[in-house]
Amino acid sequence: MERLAQISQQWMTRRLASAMPHYRLLFSKTGVWPNFEEELPTEIKKEAEAYWKNKYNGLSHQSVKQCEACNDKGKKYVLSMFPYPSGKLHMGHVRVYATSDAMARYYRLRGYKVIHPMGWDAFGLPAENAAIDSGEMPEKWTLSNIQQMKDQLQELGCRFDWDREIATCDPKYYRWTQAIFLLLFQAGLVYQEEALVNWDPVDQTVLANEQVDVNGYSWRSGARVEKRFLKQWFIKTTRFSKSLVDGLSDPTLENWSDIVKIQRHWIGDCVGYRVEMPVEQLDTCSKDTYVQESGKLALWMAQPELIYGISFIGVHSGHKYDSDSYKVQKHDKYQLLSVCAVCPISQRRIPVIVCDDLPYIEDAEFYVGIPCMSSVDMSVARTCNFETPEVIENGKLVNCGNLSGLMLDSARTLVTKQLAEIGAGGFQASVKLRDWLISRQRYWGTPIPIIHCPDCGLVPVPEDQLPVELPQITSFPKRGISPLKEASEWRKCSCPRCGGEAERETDTMDTFVDSSWYFLRFLDPNNSKSPFCYNIQDTVMPVDLYVGGKEHADLHLYFARFMQHFLGSKGIVSHSEPFKRLIMMGMVMGQSYLVKGSGRYITKDQVDFSVNPPVELGSGAPIEVTYEKMSKSKLNGVDPQEVLQKYGTDTTRLLMLANFAPSSQRNWSEETFPGILNWQKRLWLTVSDFIRIRKNKEESNGMSLSSEEAQEHDKFLWESRNRYLQSITFHFEHTHQLSVAISYMQGLTGNLRKVPRCCALSEEFELTLGALIIMLAPLTPHFASELWAGYCSVATSPHTKHDLPVVEQSWPEVDQDYSLSLKYSIPGKETREVKVARKILDHLTPDAALDLIAADDDFKDYMEGRSIITTHLKVLPGMEASVHFTYEVQDVAKVKAAFKKMKAEKKKQKMEKRLNKQLRKAES
């Protein structure tokens, strides 16, 4: 009867296979595993994705909550840079979000409580331009785009914590952006000043220096940028220059090597000090009366203790004071101005001149003339009849008020303290760094919460009146006129101090302000009392893994770090550095086809590849084929929606994550696809064989193995599983090189297919296949779920959790008896290693590690005449360990003898290598 039932089942399977299309044979729906020898149809993969998305949405919300509530391993805050809601994901988004989702899923499998939020950097110029062009208001346009992109992210299989979702254009969010702005204002770190700015004549708005390319064109509109003087709002980020540089050495930072260089370069060397001097102008009606000007001169001085010795200040031509209204008298090539700087300590007026020939320090905005320190400065001062103060005598200061009699170093400490106390600088800074210009002359941004009162001046909006919401508008004026200037009812208000008539500020904030603290709001998105709860951020911060585009490794990262340092100085946050570990993704590049000599781009189907090099069809003009940043103008963009439609969700994720290191440029080419598509097919066939052989044991009778052969294959599988598991785990956990992890998974798949098929009956084969599917799950959650369902239908090992889907399994562990590497280095030698069982390695002490490597002959030889002073051991449980040591020489003769022996051995190895090479060449 049992045999009859088997025959009946086989007959039914064949009938189903012949009567139903492939996609109807999905195992999770029918219990019938379809077998494809030639190619794994995309329809099957899509059917599996649809089934598992509907069933779990990648991971059931309920199970996540249970998992997070129960685990005691700790937390992982995985954050990807939130996108601007343009309405459509681009391939760069796919790369970033596929990576962050894979890492979040990996950490869940490792047993961590994972926070993986998503939101929207929703203010900005594109929404405003769309409103001007189409008549659709920015809010409606933005919210519509948010929904479209949210749907696309879910189609991509990303499992974000949507209950933490935020949008910076929501008044519930920007209320707190305004509150943080007021904190900065109260701390003296916000000011308004007329400045020479970059003006985009097309978008009719101010651009930050970083939004202008090296040729002087706007990065967004492409227009040549103009220079204009406008009254702008600044945040004094330079105040934290030294803190931000020092923070790059924070021991909590991991894997920041390249980013440290970028950040250090951006901030510059903080080898001088900021000295701020108010400006006065000579009254045109009286030659002896000076009138206070708005703004200050922000000087950079390497020796601020010489402040009493300043004779004059120089500015470049083109400075805002270089105009006819300020020019007074010309002395040779020096143009004297009607303005002077006022020393904040002595109150002495210091003349200002315009001259480009002064020996300005590179990147310096001003030149500080100190005649007692420079013959050039003495010559300028005498030419212009300026005072030439003598302030140094016998290494001490003289004629310098309370600094007199002090040595220079002591005076520096005192003068910088005085400057800081009166709010005139005194902090260390680089000569190149500038304060953050945050003013934007547009509507769709966070309103600056300042009121202009004719009597009280600049008055902050009281916190209980926040948020200052954007007024509702029904139409946009032409470009260059902010609707806020036209909103007269909204603009007019009462002064909070005197109650008189006043006006609201009509500039809005740069969107970088919104994104400088969003990672904190994600932790407490519904808090109506404060931006976030201190205790919550104390528990969750810093961000464990921050994933984003490499192009944001300078500016955005700098602003976010500044904000965290500022909030830390106020005791509002507990960690000075916001991001522990970074994955800065390289750009996704598209293949472009440029007609040589014309600057004209064409599409691929307009290229004749039958000749080499390729030419344009029709004209025969030679074509230059390159990889460039994807753009409409270069006709090389790739629509993620088309890729998803053609290959499905999980395959798209694999295609994006494989073959290229995260930080490297990713050239998008279908030539790299076959390897991944074939691997998916081999995975499917491996599970197919596993199911068939387990269900039809008699099929393997003709392939029976001796006990010795079975043990040999089991040992091979055990070694493969542990070796590849160790490497895959290492690259997920420590390098985040998912492309390398994928390569190792492909290797493990190959080893599973190397052994005879009857080995599928063994527990070792089952454990190895199960581990592979679990490790695949973070990358392709739906495809892995289908493989797991088929696998579990015949798996029998008590080590397999058959009742849980793959996305809720535990990440597999290297066996305790498997030998791992204990690495150490000897100068002049390659890194060496000693193999140690995991059960020993995970619990190694420095002394025990030294005992293990002491048995190595090279180590013995090198340590002749030396004794170890300190030992540093680093253990990565289940992966590897490394030991580093310092030593002292005790017997010089023995050290020399050992060195001579090592040198001879090295020479011998070189000779043997050369000889072997010659022998191989002769044999060939």
Note whether 834 and 820 are within 8 A (CB).
no
Note whether 532 and 166 are within 8 A (CB).
no
On the question of pLDDT at 10 being above 50, the answer is no
> Encoding tokens for residue 104?
């979040």
868 SS3 class = strand
Nearest by Cα to 857 from 905, 821, 892: 905
Q: Report the C-alpha gap between 680 and 652 in whole angstroms.
A: 12
On the question of pLDDT at 118 being above 60, the answer is yes
Q: Report the C-alpha gap between 900 and 906 in whole angstroms.
A: 10
pTM as predicted: 0.89
Mean pLDDT value across residues 31-49: 87
Half-sphere exposure for 356 (CA within 13 Å, toward CB) = 4
Share of the chain above pLDDT 90, in %: 66
For 165-224, the pLDDT digits (tens) are 999 999 999 999 999 999 999 999 999 998 888 888 887 777 767 678 778 888 767 788
On the question of pLDDT at 8 being above 50, the answer is no
Q: Report the C-alpha gap between 281 and 50 in whole angstroms.
A: 72
Residue with tokens 């009286």: 286
Residue 61: the pLDDT is 38
DSSP-assigned states of every residue in 224-255: BPEEEEEEEEEE-GGGGHHHHHHHTT-TT-BS
Mean pLDDT value across residues 300-307: 97
For 734-748, the pLDDT digits (tens) are 999 999 999 999 999
On the question of pLDDT at 45 being above 80, the answer is yes
For 410-468, the pLDDT digits (tens) are 999 999 999 999 999 999 999 999 999 999 989 999 999 999 999 999 999 999 999 99
Residue 703: the pLDDT is 64
Mean pLDDT value across residues 72-79: 91
Residue 269: the pLDDT is 95
| Between 346 and 894, the higher pLDDT residue | 346
Residue 220: the pLDDT is 67
> Which distant-in-sequence residues (6+ apart) come within 8 Å of 788 by Cβ?
773, 774, 777, 805, 806, 809
Residue with tokens 């990576």: 99
Residue 185: the pLDDT is 97
> Which distant-in-sequence residues (6+ apart) come within 8 Å of 482 by Cβ?
441, 442, 443, 506, 507, 508
Mean pLDDT value across residues 29-51: 87
Half-sphere exposure for 823 (CA within 13 Å, toward CB) = 11
Local confidence band at 62 (pLDDT 50, 70, 90 cut-offs): very low
Note whether 219 and 213 are within 8 A (CB).
yes
362 burial level (CB within 10 Å; 0-12, 13-18, 19+):
exposed
Nearest by Cα to 106 from 80, 78, 83, 82: 78
For 132-144, the pLDDT digits (tens) are 888 889 999 999 9
Residue 656: the pLDDT is 95
Q: What is the mean pLDDT of the chain?
A: 89
Residue 12: the pLDDT is 40
On the question of pLDDT at 772 being above 70, the answer is yes
774 SS3 class = helix
Mean pLDDT value across residues 96-111: 97
For 752-769, the pLDDT digits (tens) are 999 998 899 999 999 999
On the question of pLDDT at 334 being above 90, the answer is yes
On the question of pLDDT at 702 being above 60, the answer is no
H and E: helices and strands count for the chain: 29, 34
Note whether 727 and 814 are within 8 A (CB).
no
Q: Is the peptide bond before 34 cis (omega within 30 degrees of 0)?
A: no
**How many other C-beta atoms are found inside a 10 Å radius of the C-beta of residue 738?**
27
For 515-545, the pLDDT digits (tens) are 999 999 999 999 999 999 999 999 999 999 9
Going by the DSSP 8-state scheme, the letter that residue 807 receives in this structure is: G
Torsions phi, psi of 648, nearest 5?
A: 90, 170
| Between 700 and 114, the higher pLDDT residue | 114
Local confidence band at 819 (pLDDT 50, 70, 90 cut-offs): very high
512 SS3 class = helix
For 847-897, the pLDDT digits (tens) are 999 889 888 877 877 777 777 888 899 999 999 999 988 877 766 776 667
On the question of pLDDT at 24 being above 60, the answer is no
Nearest by Cα to 427 from 315, 262, 298: 298
Local confidence band at 725 (pLDDT 50, 70, 90 cut-offs): very high
On the question of pLDDT at 3 being above 70, the answer is no
Note whether 661 and 583 are within 8 A (CB).
no
Mean pLDDT value across residues 45-58: 84
Residue 810: the pLDDT is 96
For 580-599, the pLDDT digits (tens) are 999 999 999 899 999 988 88
